[in-house]
Amino acid sequence: MSTERDSETTFDEDSQPNDEVVPYSDDETEDELDDQGSAVEPEQNRVNKEAEENREPVRKECTWQVKANDRKYHEQPHFMNTKFFCIKESKYANNAIKTYKYNAFTFLPMNLFEQFKRAANFYFLVLLILQAIPQISTLAWYTTLFPLLLVLGITAIKDLVDDVARHKMDREINNRTCEVIKDGRFKVAKWKDIQVGDVIRLRKNDFVPADILLLSSSEPNSLCYVETAELDGETNLKFKMSLEITDQYLQREDALAAFDGFIECEEPNNRLDKFTGILSWRKTRFPLDADKILLRGCVIRNTDFCHGLVIFAGADTKIMKNSGKTRFKRTKIDYLMNYMVYTIIVVLILLSAGLAIGHAYWEAQVGNYSWYLYDGEDATPSLRGFFNFWGYIIVLNTMVPISLYVSVEVIRLGQSHFINWDLQMYYAEKDTPAKARTTTLNEQLGQIHYIFSDKTGTLTQNIMTFKKCCINGQIYGDHRDASQHNHNKIEQVDFSWNTYADGKFAFYDHYLIEQIQSGKEPEVRQFFFLLAVCHTVMVDRIDGHLNYQAASPDEGALVNAARNFGFAFLARTQNTITISELGTERTYNVLAILDFNSDRKRMSIIVRTPEGNIKLYCKGADTVIYERLHRMNPTKQETQDALDVFANETLRTLCLCYKEIEEKEFAEWNKKFMAASVASTNRDEALDKVYEEIEKDLILLGATAIEDKLQDGVPETISKLAKADIKIWVLTGDKKETAENIGFACELLTEDTTICYGEDINSLLHTRMENQRNRGGVYAKFVPPVQEPFFPSGGNRALIITGSWLNEILLEKKTKRSKILKLKFPRTEEERRMRTQSKRRLEAKKEQRQKNFVDLACECSAVICCRVTPKQKAMVVDLVKKYKKAITLAIGDGANDVNMIKTAHIGVGISGQEGMQAVMSSDYSFAQFRYLQRLLLVHGRWSYIRMCKFLRYFFYKNFAFTLVHFWYSFFNGYSAQTAYEDWFITLYNVLYSSLPVLLMGLLDQDVSDKLSLRFPGLYVVGQRDLLFNYKRFFVSLLHGVLTSMILFFIPLGAYLQTVGQDGEAPSDYQSFAVTMASALVITVNFQIGLDTSYWTFVNAFSIFGSIALYFGIMFDFHSAGIHVLFPSAFQFTGTASNALRQPYIWLTIILTVAVCLLPVVAIRFLSMTIWPSESDKIQKHRKRLKAEEQWQRRQQVFRRGVSSRRSAYAFSHQRGYADLISSGRSIRKKRSPLDAIVADGTAEYRRTGDS
């Protein structure tokens, strides 16, 4: 890949991306990047570097200073940063977490400020001020004040409830307790009171409150076992170990109180697996790394107590640094709604300006010459027109619906509660309901294009189960009795004969038990003996029961399976291991452990049996084991076929083999092993080379098959979401083979899928970049860009890419500064210009490359990114948002998913697991991945449809109501006279037309939830924005305009030259206003009936109740009694009773309503008959459709020997516990003086060799 370079920055492309390495380089320092390069420096660079080092003797990255047990040290002036003017605060954060927005004093001003930042609220505040000016207002001030106070009040109450919940959550976390040294003793303190430099004590099952340096623990050599589920969703234990000197001297309380160590380390950053620092104590400097640091969010396990020194607290901790920036999320409809409100405001200003010009012209032509219109003011027509402009702004203000935003909030709140109350999303096993943690994003759930999912704990249960095995060419694990006969229904194997069985292991092949107990085939027993002896599992006893701690859940599952089959691992020392073999305890000398790493993909153990024989036992990925087998292996092909069968069943496979070693051969090899063990340089490479020499000519025993247990319903959910045209990308930190296997298990990948890997993608993108560069000549601006597909049409393709390749492809690899020291004098203008152009070219190339990658990935049916960092997860999400403008959803369960969850439009956390960090940062949470289909296909789709219907109707009813003033102005001299009574204007949106549309927004559904799940294709209307867009908006506007014309002109025609039955002429302004208002209320309420798809008693009651409420309030407000009490506020005395007793006025109202609604009914009938939508068809035939579809997993055709897919064994992502075991540091023993402790494992290796 060619890369443009300049004198300042270069892309580090010296090495090929490593698929096995997680590229944790989010905040890599300059020095770390320099260390990775191996090129020889020019002499001038060396001289410049030496000069630079002489000027800066202190390592640049170690600028964070911590003094143990000395709080005053961290309060010194040079540690203070200016926050605001003269207000200063320490650069060391306290340990209190703050997620709330308000307190008792700031709530009212801040909340009002935030609400008036909304254009609509500020607009109505300005209107309220204008209405207080009598020269321009023809409308009473209370018509705006009451609705505005209602909107502000409801929103403020909602914000207050949300913030009180945040306060409660913060208090719960900040008030957790632990023991802190104060005044020379351990005292109980709250988390929020912990500060950097404090020495704390934690006990078993405690959460770690801050990032701390492990000083000592109750375990041998101050080991400490931690569970990192809060960080990465993994429940297998990891170990940390303190420095030997702190382990030796810092066990007692008085010693810890007197501890005055000084730490210089890196600044707070987001790298979970890296730490660089130095402890200065007792006139000696000790290096610190990540293995000695306990991170906030971890849980102490299997360790009675431990002591630590707080290095990073609160917002500075790595878990908080990984949280990413909290983004204020708004829906696509929110943005569209705001643009439409701005459009309405522009229309309002244009109408008001036109009517004001009309009034000025009318005044000049008519008003000035009509003596009976003189009002005592000698204003010019132009000034009167100016005043009338503001008058019409006030009169027509209801075009911008004041209650729109509060109605939207109420609907969203109700929809959120429906999600919370959904029993079909309640996980009874862990008593975990679904939870909508935000109320602002519900309708966006109906518009998702891409889902980004974590793997461990999200798609899988992170529970490994031993399912099948192949021993000596024979497959075991089917439902068989002891006579080898298959049965569909058969009882579980009874392990009561085994005293070490755990009682939880389920197995159904009775024939395997028969083989073990009979001993007819020695390979069967040797198979399970290998599983019991070849591992790095730790064991302890709790209440007499064996408890295994493994570096990976796979290894734990295999050792546990061997235990249940009669070969139980009981204990180990530095150089022995004890196994119970069918009830007989035997101890073996461990001569060497050849540990796993990502390159070897296998581990071996060399033991001496009690009889004196030396044997090597090995387990690993089949790809590396088969290369090292002896050529005379009779069951090689049968095992290969079994591996194909296991792979086709998406099981994780592992090959087992052994060899016998002669004494002489071992002695010669052991000398090389000892030499490699003490190598001063490239020790790991030297050991791997020595391992290769002994791991050859192996005899194959068989293979294991482990199920990485998926959560229930994952394949079904992914299948449904795919039919809804939602693409799913899996972003995980797991290795490539494991992630690929899960892709097959959950049916993201099939045997027909063509898989593209990092190197394939890199080649395609390189070719595309070359083509684009060739086309980008002088005439490029005249040629329209051509969007060519990367792949030929047809075929099912998937992309699997690792984090290292992702950095390579997206040009995200870290840049290094030039070794040449920068000159102090300014560069020339030409040099500066060339440098700027070079940077721009690099940025343009990077952007084009990223866009090409997104285009390529989106052509694939599935994308799996493995070995990616939290920052890379967020970057992938952000790239799709940026270049595809698509709505994204991220789902995960660990702290490593938080950044991704916050970056996506919608974040979903899996709750009910150990880790809750993802849930705390999510917008929605539930316990199982399968609930995602109901959240999107049911709640999301319904919410989108309801909100779209609500908005279309809301704009319609407000245009129909307001534009009557516009038509009326042509008959009143453009005088800004209102067409309705003031109280009707006040209550129209609040009482007369609010409840039916709110209930439609809460309860309406086009099809049932079961049919929504059965027909996922219904979901696409939201993805394509079909139900609410500018076209739909202008249709609603036009509908409102036509309705307002009918509402005005039919009553106007009826009132012209009419006489009542009693000789009276009720064609006055007030009767006219009552007629129009009555027709309007009936029309808009019947219109909502036509728009309703799902009728309930509540809907019907709200429609007819709103009409009845209107007439009841109108007759009260038009009564003489209320006029006597408030003569200036209620001036329509007797109008309603006088007008509505005339039959022809009722006929006028009925005619007006009929003309408004009958065309709508006709159009709806024709559209459903001639152009029915998908939901219309389902509604029509819903009675004959089954209530529920029985989903069936696709049948896969197995072709023997064809499948080349096989999962490698999921060892730990780092080396196992082999070094720990070999060095004896995990074995309980009497403490030795410090000078007797050897820093490395040399002596232990020698003792191992001598034995």
Positions marked catalytic? 454
Distance of CA 955 to the CA centre of its chain: 34
Query: Can you list the positions of beta strands (E) in 282-391?
Result: 284-288, 293-294, 299-301, 305-312
Neighbouring-strand partners of residue 216: 307
C-alpha span between 922 and 932 (Å, rounded): 14
**Angstrom distances, CA of residue 1205 to CA of 708, 719, 749, 750:** 16, 22, 11, 11
**Angstrom distances, CA of residue 1066 to CA of 831, 1044, 1075:** 88, 22, 11
Q: Where do the H-state alpha helices sit in 475-590? A: 510-518, 522-533, 553-564
Task: Go through 841-862 and write b for each residue having 16 or more CB atoms within 10 A of its CB, e for each that does not.
Answer: ebeebeebbbebbbbbbbebbb
Provide the token pair at 1016: 């996922």
Q: What is the DSSP letter of 992?
A: I
- The structure tokens 């209307």 sit at 1021
At residue 225, the 3 state secondary structure works out as strand
C-alpha span between 608 and 587 (Å, rounded): 9
Neighbouring-strand partners of residue 228: none
C-alpha span between 524 and 1037 (Å, rounded): 79
Read off φ and ψ for residue 622, nearest 5 degrees: -60, -30
Contact 368, 381 (CB under 8 A): yes
C-alpha span between 1104 and 1082 (Å, rounded): 9
Provide the token pair at 26: 């989010």
Long-range contacts of the stretch 1000-1003 (C-beta < 8 A, 24+) = 1000/946, 1000/949, 1000/950, 1000/953, 1000/1088, 1000/1091, 1000/1092, 1000/1099, 1001/407, 1001/411, 1001/414, 1001/946, 1001/947, 1001/949, 1001/950, 1002/411, 1002/414, 1002/415, 1002/418, 1002/946, 1003/1094, 1003/1096, 1003/1098, 1003/1099
Contact 294, 210 (CB under 8 A): no
Q: What is the DSSP letter of 779?
A: G
Contact 151, 127 (CB under 8 A): no
Contact 381, 361 (CB under 8 A): yes
The helix (H) or strand (E) run that includes residue 965 is helix 941-969
C-alpha span between 209 and 201 (Å, rounded): 11
Contact 510, 482 (CB under 8 A): yes
Nearest 5°: the CA angle 10, 15, 18 is 125
Neighbouring-strand partners of residue 569: 579
Contact 410, 389 (CB under 8 A): no
Cα dihedral 147→153→158→159 (10° resolution): 120
C-alpha span between 565 and 562 (Å, rounded): 5
Read off φ and ψ for residue 333, nearest 5 degrees: -65, -35
Q: What is the CA radius of gyration of the chain?
A: 38
